[in-house]
Structure 1
Amino acid sequence: MTYRWIPDQHGAWAMLAVPFLAGTFLSPHPGWGHAALFAAWLLGYAAAFHAQQWLRLHARGLRSARRHGVPAVVCGAAAGAFAVPLAVLHPWLLLAAAAALPFVAVNTRYAWRGRERALANGLAAVVPACGMLLVAARLGGLGPGGAWRAGAACLLYFAGTVPYVKTMIRERGSLPYRRSSVAYHAVALAAATALSCWLTPLFAACLTRAALLPGRGLRPPKVGALELTLSTALLTTLLLTF
């Protein structure tokens, strides 16, 4: 069924979209190239997800691995159909893809070991996703000098969601995780304020939710809805600030 082709990592979609959209609309010349790159980006993520799930299940001898084979191949081919013409027109995109490969390799290794929920695995996924802000910005004519602060803000925000969400779901009873999450968000607030004072309210809200919400029994849909709201606020703030 179609829905089985769509990766069920719901928290990943904001991380895939927000930095890319910020880079696109902060650049002076957003255009059809961005639409093609966005399609390649999302399809590439879907292909990598299914390939990693196939690897994880196949390594354990499970027949259910087969259901990921066709989506991995089809999504990969579709991503290539969008990406190859762009790479011909903009060869520097190949360097951007090469820079992302080590992080994809880390995610693949964790998938093979069946440890996709590891903290390091989540953090490794954040880096190339936020890096897409710089890629989209350059495609639209904005160099790194004009986009790095927005990219850094994205990295600070999405890196914080990894430990925070764990304190709300899989590590909700862990006091060390909660303390680490709060400590990170305090540092992120200071760093974001150094980037721009207009980021302070958003990152203060992130620190507040990291300190107060764990242990209150919020269901995952409510946790997800709050993160979607904050991600939207991040995108809006970036576009108005930078």
Structure 2
Amino acid sequence: MNLHDTLAANLNLERGPLWGIGWADLADDRVAAPVGWGERAADIDWATTVLSDYGVGPGEHCLMVSDGRDYWPRQVEAAVTALGGFVGNINTASYEVRRLSVYLRYLTPKILVGLNTKLAEAIGRDEALIALLRAVPHVFAFPDAVSELRRAGIEARAISPIGPALALPCRHGDAAHVDGSQFTVRQHADGRHLVLTTGPAREFHLTDAVVAATGTVRDRCTCTLPGPVIDLVG
């Protein structure tokens, strides 16, 4: 038996019940969130719909900022590859501005996803890096980082995990969206926090759980995407 035979035998094994395990950041804890195969496919389909509006397609580069522990970057990466694009990765540490600079100079992404505050602050201190980032067509950042980037004259849109869900900004509107077929989101009574319930078909169940992410739930967006609409940047 050689490596090819071993791989072929593995492909014939019965698939386990879970695609994997992610994390859900709740207001009072970070908990493991199992992900089934069916919901994994649904999550990818939804992200693919959103990203296709940004012109992500064959040969397009998506640069991800991720420390590798969370589920939501895998959702975005799978959507990019489903559209024919390819994915580059940098870590979330502030010193990663060096690798970011190399990517921006030699492999400019169509879309940059996941900038955090530490990186945004480092970018803001480097005029050359600011100029390079302004050439990226679409920049998605965490809400606090969006404000930092905008102060540097970089147009960025907010992205955030909402517990086990993901809020992605739409191309033609002015807010972020959550997949309404998988999750419901409502405003907490404090007017700041978000309350999430998972769909019945998901492996990980939450009912009226207060999540760590904050924002304002809106009635509608100027685009036509269905599902909960959230303003992540106050």
User: The TM-score by the shorter chain falls in which range?
Assistant: under 0.3
TM-score when normalising by structure 2: 0.27
Tell me the TM-score normalised to structure 1 length.
0.27
* Structure of higher RCO (CA pairs closer than 8 Å, 6+ residues apart): 1
